Amino acid sequence: MKIMAFKGFGNIETFSVSKDGELFDLSAAGFTSARVYADRQYVEATVSGSELGVVLGDLQVGVGCYNGKVVVYSDLYPDGLVIMGQGLPEALDITVKE
């Protein structure tokens, strides 16, 4: 997945999570929070069903392209579970612009 972030702006990016080609309901699976990472920095994301909402403009990174990752958290995975990123079935390419 490719996603654009505008540094310092409050645009909320929303994207869906799928597993085996079907939408995956994170909420029903017990995931309550998420983070989106770029260059070891992260922003908190909201979890609602199969959708994640995040303000990528809040990432404290410079303008450029990053291999991002999405980590979700639940009681079963208190340290997080990486569900999107480099080397996984769904990669996350984040482009940060001014």
The pLDDT-based confidence of 77 (bands split at 50, 70, 90) is very high
Q: Could you tell me the sign of the dihedral formed by the alpha carbons of 27, 31, 37, 41, in that order?
A: positive
Give per-residue pLDDT as tens, 12-25: 999 999 998 999 99
For 26-55, the pLDDT digits (tens) are 999 999 999 999 999 999 999 999 999 999
Q: Phi first, then psi: give them for residue 56, nearest 5 degrees.
A: -70, -20
pLDDT digits (tens, 9 = 90+) for 49-61: 999 999 999 999 9
DSSP assignment of 44-58 equals EEEEETTEEEE-GGG
Domains, the chain, in order of start with CATH, read 2-97 (2.60.40)
* Structure letter (DSSP) for residue 12: P
- Tell if the pTM clears 0.85, that is, is over it: yes
Torsion of CA 81, 84, 85, 90, to 10 degrees: 140
10 HSE (CA, 13 A, CB side): 0
